[in-house]
Amino acid sequence: MISEQLTYSPYMSLKFHLDNDTLAVSSPWLDISVKIDAENINWVNNVITEHSIGRRAEHANQLFSFFSKLPFLYIMPRNVNPVPGYITANKNNKILSSTKPLDFFYFISDRLNLSQEKIDARIPDNFEWSENDVLEFSKIPNSDNLYGPYAAYTHIRESRLLHQASKSQESQQFLYFLEGLRSWNESRFFEIMAQVMSQQFYKRVA
């Protein structure tokens, strides 16, 4: 069992803003605010100031770990000696060598006895994140082929959240379009709404 402390680093898209005793943390998918005790304001301000210019302050991990239960942070690869439980990358590993999402799904479903019926159309043709970026980020320092699973997971999680956030903006724009359409072409509005509702019903029963 590894008891080494985890090192956290904010996602690239995360922003901090300290206003008096309130620290606002914002991302494309979630915004929160927390109150800072008076005795902690100076060092918290120092951490976020240093972070804004690409440097890591002494107490950075103390602040960032406070948000460790939220989807805001990378978990950095730990600088440790080779131990069991780390991902080893090799060209024969079917997970790492999966060139398409469907390949990955078939590999997992075979081992978990998942049904593959009618699944092909629901899985995209290509991954929306770079395998090389994930491996480069999660590589354990001073190792040839060892990778931290927490680092890999948090890197992929950020890509997924950014993708979902971009899709939610598209959904909001579509809602504005429908609101405008109803005012100047009500019959067309109901035609589109019928299509949307039928698609939602299909998704729920499929």
Q: Is 71 helix (H, G, I), strand (E, B) or coil?
A: coil
Write down the pTM of the prediction: 0.65
Instruction: List pLDDT tens digits, range 48-106.
Output: 999 999 999 988 999 999 999 999 999 999 876 655 555 555 555 555 555 677 777 77
What token pair was written down for 177?
């379009």
Q: Is 23 helix (H, G, I), strand (E, B) or coil?
A: strand
pLDDT for residue 51: 94
Q: Is 160 helix (H, G, I), strand (E, B) or coil?
A: helix
Q: What is the DSSP letter of 77?
A: P
| Residue 204 pLDDT level (bands cut at 50, 70, 90) | very low
Give the burial class of 158: count Cβ atoms within 10 A of its Cβ; 0-12 exposed, 13-18 middle, 19 or more buried.
buried
150/109 Cα distance (integer angstroms):
23
| Residue 33 pLDDT level (bands cut at 50, 70, 90) | very high
For the chain, the structural domain boundaries read 15-68, 78-156, 168-205
